[in-house]
Structure 1
Amino acid sequence: MTRARGKLDVEDLLKIVLVLVVVWLVVEIVSEILGVLGGLLSLAPSVIGAAILVLLVLWLLDRI
């Protein structure tokens, strides 16, 4: 009495592995893009503060 342990062909297993690798790469790329956007947004308060400081100094020096 022999049992068929695997009913999937090697090609089907390779297709599954390739799909998983593609999904993994897409997730990595999306996380990198979101990380860059998050880094840029984390700099926004500093840039806004510096702009306000420059505007105040220019206003005090009557350059505006």
Structure 2
Amino acid sequence: MPTSRGDIDTDSLLKIILVLVVVWLALEVIGALIESLAAVLGLARPIVGLAVLALIVLWLLDEI
């Protein structure tokens, strides 16, 4: 007995594709945000190190 292939409605298929595209775009945006956050933290790493060093020196000199 031959079975009918392609029983899915065109509107349903388009909705599935639309959801997949939205998920893909959301992942791209999240990836871009994570990359920019990593770049900012990469630039801030020496500044944070200097701040920690200054706090340790001030603590050792009893200035805090």
For Structure 1 versus Structure 2, the TM-score category normalised by the shorter chain is 0.5 to 0.7
Q: Which residue of 1 aligns with 2:55?
A: none
- Aligned counterparts of 1:23 and 1:30: Cα–Cα separation in 2: 10
Q: Does 1:19 align with 2:19?
A: yes
Aligned residue number for residue 35 of structure 2: 35
TM-score, normalised relative to structure 2 = 0.67
1:13-49, CA deviations, whole angstroms, 9 ceiling, x for partnerless residues? 0000000000000000011011100000011123345
Secondary structure of the residue that 2:2 maps to in structure 1? coil
Structure 1 unpaired stretches of 5+: 53-64
Q: Percent identity?
A: 44
Distance 1:34 1:44 in 2: 15
CA distance in 2 between counterparts of 1:45 and 1:3 reads: 63
Determine the C-alpha separation between the residues in 1 that align with 2:8 and 2:48: 59
* One-letter identity of the residue aligned with 1:32: A
Matching of residues 47-62 of structure 1 within 5 Å: 47-48=47-48
User: 5+ residue gaps in structure 2?
Assistant: 53-64
Structure 1 position 9, deviation (Å): 0.5
Structure 2 residue aligned with 1:10: 10
